[in-house]
Amino acid sequence: MNPRTLVATGAILAALTGCSGGTTDAPAAPGGTAETTAGVPSTTGAPVDSDTGADACPDQKIEDTAEIERFVTIGEVTAGDDEGADFYGKEWRHYVPVTMTNPLDVTCAIGVLLVADGSDGSQVTDGGTFVLAPGASTDVQLLDLENSFEFTADTQDAPATEEITVSAPYVRSAPVYDYYDADFTFGEITGEPGAELLPVTITKKAVKPGVPEAVGAIRFDDFDIQGIDADGTVVATFQAIKSVAIEVGETTTFELPATTAAARNTDFRAYHPASVLDDIVEYRAVRYQPKVMEE
């Protein structure tokens, strides 16, 4: 799959352009260029707003149902016959398709908590945070229902043995910082089906001026990678939710899960099946910042 190494150089990709309606256009690179060994076109753009600017994304938790629906569209329970089903030794697995949307007028990290409640008392929770441009949307898969529910048969249309109700108790929005000057190198996806990994090598070159200070006895960084197809659409999201921060001047390689089936560590996530991987022609880092910063 994707037998090539992709390299992003210069500042972290940040300024995003997108559209609503279930698709997300590719983000553009701020202040520098995005280069690849496979000849993927370079892009340029402006840095994202930080919360020190006049147009910062609000840092907020939203619990009003009508407001939540502006950010999250929850689909029906869906069955997939893919590597995720193989993980459970079944022909079909069950999940919930979700469309995340940024209805605000600035780039934000939009987070959601989903809860699946069963009529007989079973429950499972899941969630994620997604970097989205103003008006942009992305389609993801959440709630691995095989973890908590049983189904009447191992077939595509088999119902669960109890009625499942899916809800979003809240969403969050938070600013995305143009925080580090760093280089990202993306390796070839490796691993057996259901255990695919994307190697990501990061060189942290500097902390940019004017950003809040990272805090904590042990410091962690978050970073988000988007996979872009030939049409410029975001088709994949890879994420490190809690990686031990490297020092400025250091280089390290992370092996991120490349599919939902491979994402068994909650600190590293993917929100898409393996079927999209062959469509990726470019990877882009759209967030790289400390997990905890001073207020």
pLDDT for 176-217, tens place per residue? Answer: 999 999 999 999 999 988 899 999 999 999 999 989 999 988
Can you spell out the DSSP letters for 182-238?
A: EEEEE---BSSTT--EEEEEEEEEEEPTTPPPB-SSS-EEEEEEEEE-TTSBEEEEE
Residue-wise pLDDT for 116-166, tens only, equals 999 999 999 999 999 999 998 999 999 999 989 999 999 999 999 999 999
Confidence of residue 8 (pLDDT cuts 50, 70, 90): very low
Q: Do 149 and 88 touch, CB atoms closer than 8 A?
A: no
Residue-wise pLDDT for 211-253, tens only, equals 999 998 889 999 999 999 999 888 999 999 888 999 999 999 9
Residue-wise pLDDT for 20-76, tens only, equals 333 455 444 332 333 333 323 323 233 344 444 445 899 999 999 999 999 999 999
170: left (phi over 0), alpha (psi -120 to 50) or beta: beta
Numbered ranges of CATH 2.60.40 in the chain = 60-174
Q: List phi, psi (to 5°) of 151.
A: -120, 150
Report, in angstroms and rounded to the nearest whole number, the Rg of the chain calculated over CA atoms. Answer: 19
- Cα angle 20-25-30, degrees, rounded to a multiple of 5: 125
Q: What is the model's pTM? A: 0.80
What pLDDT was estimated at residue 4? 39
Token duo for residue 205: 């070159």
Topology of domain 60-174, per CATH? Immunoglobulin-like (2.60.40)
- Percent helix, strand and coil across the chain, each rounded to 5? 5, 45, 50
End-to-end CA distance of the chain: 42
Check pLDDT > 50 for residue 110.
yes
